Structure 1
């Protein structure tokens, strides 16, 4: 039976983690559920001072993926925990990729929600999804494309409204109101 509440998800994740063949000390891992995350399905947080590890799972991602796919997210975060416990650091490099392959974990977890905003270069094909109003979204005139140096424009994906300046952002925000 799939978890139906956040507490059930955390309990199921902790139990599932015990079945994954990876050398992670479970007594040093705490489990949390995130309500805020809009982009990542999970996160592994390491406290260098205490060497404590917290695996934070995103409820919305679990609801979007279902238990079967979400177990990949759990394995992915366990690989981060393993790296932290073994090496004091973690990333998505070669070591991570090798261990992820061993435990059948995805190297990167797919997005579970659509980005509300998109930064686009005015000259080249570069673009980036944004879920919140970052500094680049609020004031794109102060930023330049890292690929070609041109200016950005920002698009609100649902409405198609675009802007290139802070004033344009303020107008879009006001006009979109509750649709933001």
Structure 2
């Protein structure tokens, strides 16, 4: 393989592996890098990274998102790598991982963010219709609460909510209105 054959995905994995080696050395993080695999996602829209655990093989796979790599500065993306390394460390050491106390302590030690900033704009925004409530949520896919908001309630106060198609500004509060907005927007949906 020549340099001309390398892709951006190859670059992402190479930089992440180098950073992982540096982090393990600098912070004395005990990770079996031989039991660590790397992948790049071109589909993810919300998360910049993920770590999956294959219990039977005892292998952690860190999945990094190409779109986040292209949008973030390297230092921000390196924080994503450190965040996922904490998950890999937990999986290898304890067989499970989350964002609890153990994770937070290790993330703080590695200067890894607990949550990663968003790198893409949502397609939909859900907003509570209760006058005293400021709850809102961002969605990238047309999930059930997006398609049929009348079947769900605000997660904070229990009032109805509306959904906004972020690009057009069109809103709906029921499944039938969702269908109407989708039909009206046609190809711009």
Structure 1 unmatched ranges of 5 or more: none
Task: Tell me what 2:9 maps to.
Answer: 6
Aligned mates of 2:160, 2:56 — CA distance in 1 = 42
Q: How many residues align?
A: 178
Partner of 2:3 in structure 1?
A: none
Deviations 1:45-94 (A, max 9, x none): 11223222110000000000032321111001000101111111111122
Aligned position for 2:159 = 150
Q: Counterparts of 2:88 and 2:40 in 1: how far apart (Å)? A: 16
Range that drifts further, 88-97 or 28-37 = 88-97
In 1, Cα distance between equivalents of 2:109 and 2:120 = 28
Identify which of 108, 114, 127 aligns with 1:107: 114
User: Unpaired segments of 5 or more residues in structure 2?
Assistant: 1-5
**CA displacement, residues 121-178 of structure 1 (integer Å, 9 cap, x when unaligned):** 1112111100110010011111112322211210111211000111111111122223
1:102, distance to aligned residue in structure 2 (A):
1.0
Task: Give the TM-score, by structure 2 length.
Answer: 0.89
TM-score (norm 1): 0.93
Whole-angstrom distance in 2 between the partners of 1:4 and 1:35: 13
Out of 146, 166, 176, which is 2:185 matched to?
A: 176
Equivalent of residue 66 in structure 1, options 59, 73, 86: 73
Shift of 1:114: 1.1
- Which residue number in structure 2 is paired with residue 98 of structure 1? 105
Q: CA RMSD in A?
A: 1.4
Distance (whole Å) between structure 1 residues aligned to residue 167 and residue 185 of structure 2: 10
Large movers: runs of 4+ above 6 Å: none
